[in-house]
C-alpha cells in the first residue's frame, strides 16, 4: 500500500443549466457590492450580459482578457479595479478570463468568482500565469483560487466544436498527469478517472450535435473534475512541453495540449502501469490509452501535428533544450534523444509510440 498526504482545496461549485441566474446570489452571499466583470474581447456581449444580470453589484466590464495574461493587460485590469473601487472580480470565459482575474487577485487580493465557458479547468486551480516579453512565469498562490464557480453548460453551447474538442483534451491532460503525479492520492485518482470518462464520452456527442446540452453538461462536469486534479497535483512532462511550446512559439494552448498528450503519455506509459489501467477502464474497452487519445483526436477532426499549429523542425532543438534545462517532475527519465524523438512525432503527426 502506498503512503500519501491529501490536502483538499476549498471548492464551491454551482452547477447546471441556467445556473448563471444564481450568480447574483453568489456575489451577494460573499458580501460583494462592486465586482469587475472580466472577459475576452470576443465575449464582450456575454460579459455585458453577466454585468446586466448583476445590476448595481457590477462596477464595470473589462473585455481585454488574452491568452497567457500579458503583463500590460494585467496592469490595466489592476488599475481599473482600483479606480472603480472593485471589491471582487467575476471572470466569464475560458482560461484567459480566469487568468486575468487571478492576476488581479495576486496583487490586490480581490476574490474571484468564475463562470467558465470552456473546458480548460483553470477555475479549479491556485495556479497563476503572467507573460512579459515572451516569457511566461507561473506560480501557485491560494489567493488566486476562485471562491465560487458557476458552471452553466448553456454558456458553452456557442463554443465552436473545434475549440470544444481541443479544450476537452486540455482537461483530459490535467487528469492524465494527475494520475501519475508524485503527489497523486486515491481521491485525486478517482477524480481524474471520472473526469476522463465524462469527457471521452461527451466530446464525440458534442462533435455530432453541438447543441446537445446533456453532452455539454457532461463535458463541463469532466472539466471541473480534471481542473480539480490539476489544482491538487504537480505537473509533469506533458505540461512542461506545452508550456515551452506555448511560451516560446506562441502555439495555441488547447490545440498544443491535444497534439502533445498522446506522445507524452506514450513516453511515460512503461513507467506508469496503474495510470494506464485507470485510463483503460475510464475509456472503456481501450488497452492503449495513448493510441486511443490520438485516434479520438483524429476522429473528431482535431489537429494531430505541431506543424499544423505553426512549429517547424528548426524549433525542435530549442524546445528540447528548454525542457531539459528546467524539467518538471516526471515518472520516467527524460533523455535528450527521447525528447527529440517525441517532439519529432508530435511535429509530424505520427502515431504515438513508447520512446
Ligand atoms: P481562452 O480563454 O483563451 O478562449 C479562447 C477563445 O474562445 C477566446 O476568444 C474566447 O473568447 C472564446 N470563447 C471562450 N468560451 C467561449 C464560448 N462559450 N463561446 C464562444 N467563444 C468562446 O481559451 P482557454 O483554452 O480556455 O484558456 C487558455 C488559457 O488558460 C491559457 O493562457 C492557459 O495557460 C490558461 N490555463 C490556465 C490554467 C491554470 O490552472 N492556471 C489551466 C488551463 C489553462
How far is ligand 1, taken at its centre, from the CA of residue 354, in Å?
Answer: 31
Residue entry with cell 509510440: 353
pLDDT tens column, 96-128? 999 999 999 999 999 999 999 999 999 999 999
Q: What is the pLDDT of residue 136?
A: 81
Average pLDDT over residues 288-308: 98
Ligand 1 atom index nearest CA of 40: 11
Question: Does 141 contact ligand 1 (Cβ within 6 A)?
Answer: no
Is the CB of residue 336 less than 8 Å from the CB of residue 317? Answer: no
The DSSP code for 282 is H
Name the percent of the chain lying above pLDDT 70. Answer: 100
Average pLDDT over residues 322-350: 96
Cα angle, residue 220 at apex, residues 218 and 222 outer, rounded to 5° = 70
The structure's pTM equals 0.98
Question: Does 254 contact ligand 1 (Cβ within 6 A)?
Answer: yes
Q: What is the pLDDT of residue 231?
A: 98
From residue 353, how far is each of 68, 82, 269 by CA, in Å?
30, 52, 10
- Judge whether residue 160 has pLDDT over 70: yes
Q: What is the pLDDT of residue 355?
A: 64
- Judge whether residue 135 has pLDDT over 80: no
Question: Does 220 contact ligand 1 (Cβ within 6 A)?
Answer: no
Nearest-angstrom CA–CA distance, 1 and 230:
24
Q: What is the pLDDT of residue 2?
A: 82
Nearest-angstrom CA–CA distance, 182 and 156:
33
Is the CB of residue 143 less than 8 Å from the CB of residue 106? Answer: yes
Kindly report the protein residue whose alpha carbon is nearest to atom 19 of ligand 1: 159
pLDDT tens column, 123-133? 999 999 999 88
Per-domain residue ranges of the chain? 12-156, 161-348
Assign 31 to helix, strand or coil.
coil
Nearest-angstrom CA–CA distance, 188 and 191:
5
Q: What is the pLDDT of residue 207?
A: 98
How far is ligand 1, taken at its centre, from the CA of residue 67, in Å?
Answer: 7
DSSP calls for 178-204: HHT-TT--HHHHHHHHHHHHHHHHHHH
CATH 1.20.1090.10 fits 161-348, yes or no: yes
Average pLDDT over residues 74-91: 98
Please give the backbone phi and psi of residue 335, each rounded to the nearest 5 degrees, phi first: -100, 160
**What confidence category does residue 240 fall into, taking pLDDT thresholds of 50, 70 and 90?**
very high
**CATH number for the segment(s) 12-156:** 3.40.50.1970
Averaged confidence pLDDT in the chain: 96
Please give the backbone phi and psi of residue 149, each rounded to the nearest 5 degrees, phi first: -125, 125
Amino acid at each position: 500500500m502506498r503512503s500519501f498526504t491529501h490536502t483538499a482545496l476549498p471548492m464551491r461549485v454551482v452547477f447546471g443549466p441556467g445556473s448563471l441566474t444564481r450568480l447574483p446570489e453568489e456575489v451577494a452571499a460573499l458580501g460583494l457590492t462592486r465586482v469587475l466583470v472580466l472577459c475576452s474581447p470576443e465575449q464582450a456581449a456575454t460579459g455585458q450580459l453577466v454585468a446586466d444580470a448583476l445590476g448595481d453589484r457590477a462596477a464595470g466590464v473589462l473585455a481585454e482578457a488574452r491568452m497567457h495574461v500579458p503583463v500590460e493587460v494585467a496592469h490595466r485590469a489592476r488599475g481599473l479595479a482600483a479606480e472603480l473601487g472593485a471589491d471582487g472580480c467575476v471572470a466569464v470565459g475560458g482560461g484567459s478570463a480566469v487568468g486575468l482575474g487571478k492576476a488581479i487577485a495576486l496583487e490586490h487580493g480581490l476574490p474571484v468568482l468564475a463562470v467558465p465557458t470552456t473546458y480548460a479547468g483553470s477555475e479549479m486551480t491556485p495556479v497563476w500565469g503572467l507573460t512579459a516579453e515572451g516569457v511566461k512565469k507561473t506560480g501557485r498562490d491560494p489567493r488566486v483560487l476562485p471562491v465560487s464557480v458557476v458552471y452553466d453548460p448553456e454558456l458553452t453551447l456557442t463554443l465552436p466544436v473545434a475549440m470544444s474538442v481541443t479544450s476537452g483534451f486540455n482537461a483530459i491532460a490535467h487528469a492524465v498527469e494527475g494520475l501519475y503525479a508524485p503527489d497523486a492520492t486515491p481521491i485525486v485518482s478517482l477524480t481524474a478517472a471520472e473526469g476522463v470518462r465524462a469527457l471521452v464520452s461527451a466530446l464525440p456527442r458534442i462533435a455530432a450535435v453541438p447543441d446537445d446540452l446533456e453532452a455539454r453538461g457532461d463535458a463541463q462536469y469532466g472539466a471541473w473534475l480534471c481542473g480539480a486534479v490539476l489544482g491538487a497535483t504537480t505537473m509533469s512532462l506533458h505540461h512542461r512541453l506545452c508550456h515551452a511550446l506555448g511560451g516560446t512559439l506562441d502555439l495555441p494552448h488547447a490545440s498544443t495540449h491535444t497534439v502533445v498528450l498522446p506522445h507524452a503519455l506514450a513516453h511515460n506509459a512503461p513507467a506508469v502501469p496503474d495510470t494506464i489501467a485507470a485510463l483503460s477502464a475510464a475509456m472503456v474497452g481501450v488497452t492503449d490509452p495513448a493510441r486511443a487519445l490520438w485516434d479520438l483526436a483524429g476522429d473528431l477532426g482535431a489537429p494531430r501535428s505541431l506543424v499544423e499549429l505553426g512549429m517547424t523542425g528548426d524549433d525542435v532543438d530549442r524546445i528540447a533544450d528548454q525542457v531539459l534545462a528546467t524539467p518538471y517532475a516526471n515518472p520516467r527519465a527524460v533523455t535528450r534523444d527521447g525528447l527529440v524523438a517525441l517532439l519529432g512525432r508530435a511535429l509530424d503527426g505520427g502515431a504515438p509510440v513508447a520512446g
